[in-house]
Chains A and B, each alone.
Chain A
Amino acid sequence: MPALILASIVTIILAVVSIFVGVSDVSIASLLAGGVDGRAMEVLLISRIPRTLALILAGASMAIAGLVMQMVVRNRFVEPSTTGTSESAALGFLVVTILAPGWPLMAKMGVAALFALGGTALFLRILRVVPLRDVLMVPLVGIMLGGIIGALTAFVAYRANLMASLLAWNMGDFSGIIRGRYELLWIGLACCAIAYIAADRFTVAGMGKDFTTNLGLNYQRVMVLGLVIVSLVSAVVLVSVGSIPFLGLIVPNLVSLMIGDNMRRTVPWVAIGGAGMVLACDIVGRLIRFPYEIPIAVVMGVVGSALFLYLLLRTPRGAT
C-alpha cells in the first residue's frame, strides 16, 4: 500500500508540472499578481487544468482498457491497438463523419464505439479458429486484422478526401484541448470504475471459460462487459485526442511484473501508472520544441516501443 501512495504522489507531481508547463506565463507569482480575473488564472482554468485532466483521464482509461483486454483474451500482448479495436473505432468515426457530419460529437463517438465493438468481436471470432501455439500469435493476428481494417479506412478516407483528418485522428495529440473539448473523456473514468467493480469477475474470467463456469459465473456476460469497456474507452479517446499507442500494453505489463495478476489489486496501479506515463510523455512533447508541440503519439511511440521490446525480450517465449 505505501508503494501505491508513492506512485500516486509521483503522478500528482507530474500533474502539477503539467499545469505549469505551457506557452503562457502561468506561475504562482503571476497567479497571485493577476488575481481571480487575471490572464494567468484564465489560462489556468481554460487551458491548463482541462488539458491536465484530459491527460489523466485518457491515460488511466487507456491503460485500464489494455488490462481488461488482456484479461478477456488471456494474453499479455494485446491492447486496443493490437486487436483491431482502435482501427475499427477510427473506421466508425470516419464513416459517421462522412455520412452525418452534422451529428453531435457524442453521437459520433457512439458510432465509433459500436464499430470498435464489432471489430473486437471479429478479432475474438478469428482467434477461435486460429490454432494458437504461441503467445505472440494472438497480437500478430490482431495487428494483421488492424492492418486490414486500417487499409479499408484509408481507402474510404482517400475517396472522401479525408486523408489529412484520418492521419490527425491516428496521431494522438492534446494540443487542441481546452475547456469544453475534453469532457467526453469522463466516460472513460466511468469505464475505469466499472472495471474496478467487476475486477474479480475479470480475474476469474482470465482463468478460462470452464473455470469461470465452475465458479457459477456467466462467462459470456463477463466477456461482453469487458468488450464494451474496451470499445467505449477506445472510441472516447480516439474522438477526443486521437489514438495513443502502446499505453494499454506497457502499463499493465509493468504492473503485473511488480505485483502480479489479481485485478482487484492491479486496477488502481494501472490507472495511476497510465495517467503518470501519459502526463510525462505529454510534458516532454511540450518541452522538446517549445513553444511548438510534438504530438504525444510520437513521444509515446518512441518510449513505448523501447519498453515493449524490453518486455518481449525478458519474457521467456511460451509463457503467458
Chain B
Amino acid sequence: MSSLFRSTAIVAAVFAGVFSLASASIAQDKVITHPQGETTISGVPAKVLTQDWAVFDNLNALGVAVAGVPSSNAPSYLGDQVPADALPIGSLFEPDFEGIAAEEADVYFIAGRSASAYPTAKDIVPTIDLSVNNTEFVSGIKHNITTLGEIFDLQVRAEELNAALDAKVAEATAAAEGKGTALVLVTNAGKLGVYGADSRVAWVYNEIGMSSALDSVKDGDHGGDAVSFEFLLEVNPDWVFVVDRDAGTGESAGAAAALLDNELFNQTNAAKEGHVVYLDPQASYISMHGYQGVMLLLDQVLAGLNS
C-alpha cells in the first residue's frame, strides 16, 4: 500500500515538475537582483502586493494594478488611485505575514521601513526589496522604476517616467542655481529638527544643488537633532523647506506655519523674503522614493523658487 502510494506520489511529482518547467520556459524567468539578494520572477506577475507606499506610487505611475497595500499612512496625494478593494497587508513596519501567505501573490515588494521583513517573506512569496539609499536619491528611484519596468514588461513607460524625472530635476537644479543657502526643517509638536546629509530630506542639497545652510555649522555630523529658534536665527538660511510632521491628520494643517511665525524666525533671510516652502508632508516623509511623490515635491520646490 505504502509503496503504491509512494510511486503515485513520484509520478505526480515528475508530472508537476515537467508542467512547471514547461510553463516557466513559456513565461521566461527573470532574475531580479536587489539589495538583499536575487529573486526569480516567472512571467509578468498578475497579483502584486506592496508594503511600501513609494513602491505603490511607482507601480501606479507605471500603470500596474496592485492587489495589496499597507494598512495605514496612505499619502493623500495618491487620493483615490489607491483601489478601494485593495487588501490591507499590515503596517509600514510590520507585514501581516499570514494575510500575505493566504494571498498567494506573484510578487511582493518591500522597501525601507519594511526591508527587515525580507528573511521571513522570501519563503512565503517571491519578495523584492526596493529600498533606496538616500545618498543616491534620484538614481535610486530611477533604478527602481527601471526594475519595475523589466518585471512588468513596461520598459518604454519606465523610460518615459525616468526621462520626465530627469527633466524635472534639471529644471529644479537650474532654478536653484544662485539662490543661496537652504535648510530643510522638520517640525513636530512645537519642536524643530534638522537632518543630515544621508537623510530622507537631503535631496534638496544633494540632487538639486542648493547649498546646505548647515555647512557653516561646526558639527556637520548630525542626524535628526533638535534645534532652537536661536539656531535658525544664527544659521540664517536664504530658503527654508518645511516638512510638517503634525499635518498627518490634515486637520492640523498650518501648524508649522503657526510655529514658525515668531519674532526670531521672522528675522531670517528666508522669512523676510517669503522664501519658506511647505513640502507635502506625506510625500516628503513617507513616499519620497515614489515617482509621483518626488515629482510633487520637485514641483513644490520649483513653485517656491520661481515665485
Contact = CB atoms under 8 A, between A and B. Distances in A.
B190 A46 contact: no
Contacts of B233: 23-24, 43
Given A24-B230, A24-B234, A47-B229, A292 B219 contact: yes
Nearest to A48: B230
B227 interface: yes
Interface stretch (A58-66, A127-135, A174-182, A226-234): A174-182
Contacts of B188: 164-165, 168
Contacts of A295: 226
Contact of A181 (B190, B222, B226): B190
Most buried by A among B73, B228, B262: B228
Given A289-B225, A293-B226, A168 B190 contact: yes
Contacts of B190: 168, 176, 181
Interface in B192-235: 192, 194, 217-219, 222, 225-231, 233-234
Contacts of A290: 219
Nearest to B191: A176
A173 B249 contact: no
Given A43-B264, A46-B264, A161-B72, A293 B227 contact: yes
Contacts of A22: 228, 230
A162 interface: yes
Most buried by A among B217, B229, B249, B264: B229
Interface in B57-83: 72-73
B2 to A, nearest CB: 53
B72 A158 contact: yes
A294 interface: yes
Interface in A258-304: 289-295
B234 A23 contact: yes
Nearest to A294: B226
B248 A164 contact: yes
A43 B230 contact: yes
B98 interface: no
A60 B292 CA distance: 51
Contacts of A292: 194, 219, 222, 225-227, 231
Interface residues of B, number: 31
A173 to B, nearest CB: 6
A16 interface: no
B150 interface: no
A281 B218 CA distance: 23
Nearest to A163: B248
B279 to A, nearest CB: 15
A29 interface: no
B189 interface: yes
Interface in B217-273: 217-219, 222, 225-231, 233-234, 245-246, 248-249, 251-252, 259, 262-264
Contacts of B229: 47, 176, 178
Given A43-B264, A162-B249, A292-B219, A176 B230 contact: no
A47 B264 contact: yes
Nearest to A286: B228
Interface in A148-189: 158-162, 164-165, 168-169, 173, 175-176, 178-181
Contacts of A180: 262
A101 B251 contact: yes
Contacts of B263: 42, 46, 178-179
A97 interface: yes
A178 B225 contact: no
Contacts of A5: none
Nearest to A100: B251
Given A162-B248, A164-B188, A292-B194, A178 B226 contact: no
Most buried by A among B72, B191, B246: B191
A312 interface: no
Contact of A161 (B226, B231, B249): B249
Contacts of A162: 246, 248-249
Contacts of B227: 23, 175, 291-293
B283 to A, nearest CB: 14
A23 B245 contact: no
A98 interface: yes
A18 to B, nearest CB: 13
A39 B246 CA distance: 31
B249 A160 contact: yes
A47 B230 CA distance: 7
Contacts of A176: 190-192, 228-229, 259
A98 B246 CA distance: 11
A242 B246 CA distance: 15
Contacts of B230: 22-24, 43, 47
26 contacts: A23-B227, A23-B228, A23-B233, A98-B249, A101-B251, A101-B252, A159-B72, A162-B248, A164-B189, A165-B246, A168-B190, A168-B191, A175-B227, A176-B190, A178-B229, A178-B264, A181-B190, A289-B222, A289-B225, A291-B217, A292-B194, A293-B225, A293-B226, A293-B227, A293-B228, A294-B226
Interface of A: 22-24, 42-43, 46-47, 97-98, 101, 158-162, 164-165, 168-169, 173, 175-176, 178-181, 242, 289-295
Given A42-B263, A43-B264, A159-B72, 5 more contacts: A101-B249, A161-B248, A168-B188, A291-B218, A292-B231
